[in-house]
Structure 1
């Protein structure tokens, strides 16, 4: 049993009055976890109760355990502790949170294991689930799927903007049964083009290119939209000189040198114009004597610089026009 399961059994045993007083001193996250456990416990055997609240064994019914009173019990204590409006909002989350539980389970699993399992599922099912995972894990799993599935799943992640609670519950049930270890009119945002673009930021350039090339054949408009939103190492040098100078001050010479290994001459020239002459000479010398390097190492260095640019954009230190809309700089 989880800690929230044990807490739920104890509070159910103590009753609504004591439970509401306890909830007044807890944050929403913990209340939600315990309430979920309460709502799904069902029958709790006497020996389980004894294991959780051994100090109360002298007053525990020796014949049976008890049945959780389910949602009505949860609703009553939430209203008493939080008020009617906040309680109803939290209950709505509880009714439709099973897909979130599965996300927590998948987050602890190896990406290769998940990809092997999903390789037998329909692309739409895969997309709905992957769209709920963190971008890094999503990219790892997509990269490990059979090649013929990768672009299909990416298309569906971009298209699956909203999904009904009923479908989420159905997918959750099917996946749970198949893994064996492993809510209504409201709809939930789980995907979209932004999710795909975020996912691509964790893919290496070769896999990114293969998927985009396949998308060109399967869904050209989507491929064009994704390319418009993707920010590449070369795009940095379409910025003005002041922005480039700010970025270069945040990047080490070693990382910059490696990232420039495959850059065209016009990109190199723009970099050299926006760093000190001493740094430029050092990088030129290093590039001249640098032997063969892995493409993956170059792409990793470029990705590190891209992350620096994204962080600077988030902090308002640089402005990148044209990303996510028709931005115009004036």
Structure 2
């Protein structure tokens, strides 16, 4: 887009960055004419361009006209192009020695093709880090070396500090990784991590519904479950069993309560406990220092009467915080269905 001709530019064009110009052009081309271009973009490029389109706002007609004229002028002056692994390899073969071309193409594709590393780059850093923290530091270093730097950085920040430091030291000392090492790592990732991830992603729809119901206010939640009782009683029972509610926080270990207290908004905690049972109030207050517990009691007393809806909203936020901490592995959330099982 930066190569577009500067002749006859409308003054409004200066306000648009290169990405915004590309977004405006793709919006103007529409679904039919833009589809061939979208198909050539990577997932990351599609995300970036889609985000720019969503935030574009109004584009003056003069700018749209200029972008279309410039684009059609450039396209008409060149022959049809098609980028692929094969055309890339042919291009490099005319400039570099065979062994260098082979090395570069294997780095792009990966010894087993690029699908493996493409899939890995789309895995959440939290999920990937949870798997890697049990691997040898050298293996982790090889994998992070193959990931995009921004994704590798996010994964690194999720690893335990000592392991992360060890991995960084190994990455600093790493020379060119041998092909058989990469193949072995890819095989392990495919057979263990990706296959397990695929199975884990085939979730029971009742689990997703339970999470959604957890996010509802209590009145709506009870209304929906009552309606579901009449139409699909078995499903309603499964959803209730899978839901993690504010009352279930009372089953957490004292250490988990302490972590929640350290991470929560104290005003919201006071509001949540205002409408809680005495057992849960005692549990949370016992997880605090004597001074902090006294301050919280004072805050609750100073609130006076509060709306039940506000208490329920604060309790819902506390449940969501607990589940987030569970996702990070900082606490263990007891499964309402059993004393021994865990859901995180």
Q: What TM-score, normalized by structure 2, do the two folds share?
A: 0.45
Q: What TM-score, normalized by structure 1, do the two folds share?
A: 0.47
